[in-house]
Amino acid sequence: MGATKVVENLSGRTVLVTGASSGLGLAVAKQLAGSGARTLLGCRDKDRAREAMERIRLAHPAARVEFVYVDLASLESIEEAAAELADRAGELDVLVNNAGVMAPPPGHTPDGFEIQIGVNHLGHFALTGHLLPLLLAAEQPRVVTVTSALHKLAVRNELTDFKILPHGSNWLGYGRSKAANLMFAFELDRRAHGRLYSLAAHPGLARSELVARTEGGGRKVVGPALRRGTHIVAQSADQGARPILFAATAKAALKAGAARPHVRGEVPDMTGTRYFGPRGPGGLRGAPSVAGASALARDQELARELWDASVEATGERYAALG
């Protein structure tokens, strides 16, 4: 898969990348804009978004790049952003659910959810649901949700108690949010029944604003140590963006995945299994390849429980899926 072209020509397509003002999100948005897509940057900081657009236009003078204000911590902001997008775009070909926080100081969103599950999962769950009519209006729409290899930290207990940190641990909280991202991606793909493709990707170990801002949980030494270690051994944001871009644009991504058991001679059903990351040792760096999900993330009954809890928490029922 390493020799496969990662970014296809996207002329005439419209894409939205959340958290696109820096790091992985900016790297993804830059490549998408450079490939001809009308690229919308979903950000909560207007000044940083403006700087990001200037950087993209510097690299690609003909790029069509725009700013959309959205705060993934606020369900009200998400609803307003979706309404604005409905006025500005008749359809949405690709949604990249990238924005996130990692091991910040403990806290809650304005809606009362633990900050990591609130932003990383519930914010994107609500945004995707609100944007579903725009996605379904496009030809072969894709939703790519960015997760992490650290989703394997998640534990079954407290998965859907969105108001608390699992076992009081910021790192378990981050792992839970990333497991929720992966389970959401898989479950959305199953529920869409081919009307859209929902894929997941992780960047491996990459230098990004997400890591740069992490506090490292309750121990003050962890954050600085993680930031220094990541800077030394991690790949660049551009390299970390490759699995995300592959999932968002490559035709091969729709044919690759951890196939379910099937009858010999039949075409494997990859529904709810398309998940990509770096192919190198430990999945930390390298060209895009199929990634392995934890047993918890592959639990379909648990995914349905998470979905139902997310509907109750956000009020977003995905009515467009029927």
Measure CA 57 to chain center.
24
Q: How far is CA 211 from CA 81, 100, 235, 240, in A?
A: 26, 10, 12, 13
**Total domains, the chain:** 1
pTM, to two decimals: 0.90
Q: Tell whether 1 is covered by a domain.
A: no
Whether 123 contacts 170, CB under 8 Å? no
Output the pLDDT for position 208. Answer: 64
Q: Tell whether 9 is covered by a domain.
A: no
Output the pLDDT for position 6. Answer: 60
| Segment 184-237, tens digit of pLDDT | 999 999 999 999 999 999 999 987 666 545 555 555 555 554 545 455 567 999
Output the pLDDT for position 211. Answer: 53
Residues acting as catalytic residues: 174
Output the pLDDT for position 224. Answer: 57
Q: Tell whether 321 is covered by a domain.
A: no
Q: Tell whether 128 is covered by a domain.
A: yes
Output the pLDDT for position 233. Answer: 66
Q: Tell whether 2 is covered by a domain.
A: no
Percent of the chain with pLDDT over 90: 79
Q: Tell whether 320 is covered by a domain.
A: no
Question: Looking at the predicted structure, is the pLDDT value of residue 2 above 50?
Answer: no
Q: Tell whether 282 is covered by a domain.
A: yes
User: Hey, what are 252's tokens?
Assistant: 């091969």
Q: Is 227 exposed, middle or buried (0-12, 13-18, 19+ CB in 10 A)?
A: middle
Question: What's the average model confidence in pLDDT over 14-41?
Answer: 98
| Segment 229-264, tens digit of pLDDT | 455 567 999 999 999 999 999 999 998 765 444 444
Q: Tell whether 90 is covered by a domain.
A: yes
281 falls in which pLDDT band (50, 70, 90)? confident
CATH number at residue 87: 3.40.50.720
The C-alpha torsion from 117 through 194 and 40 to 31, rounded to 10°, is 100
Sequence length of the chain is: 322
Structural domain range at position 157: 14-259+271-314
Output the pLDDT for position 315. Answer: 98
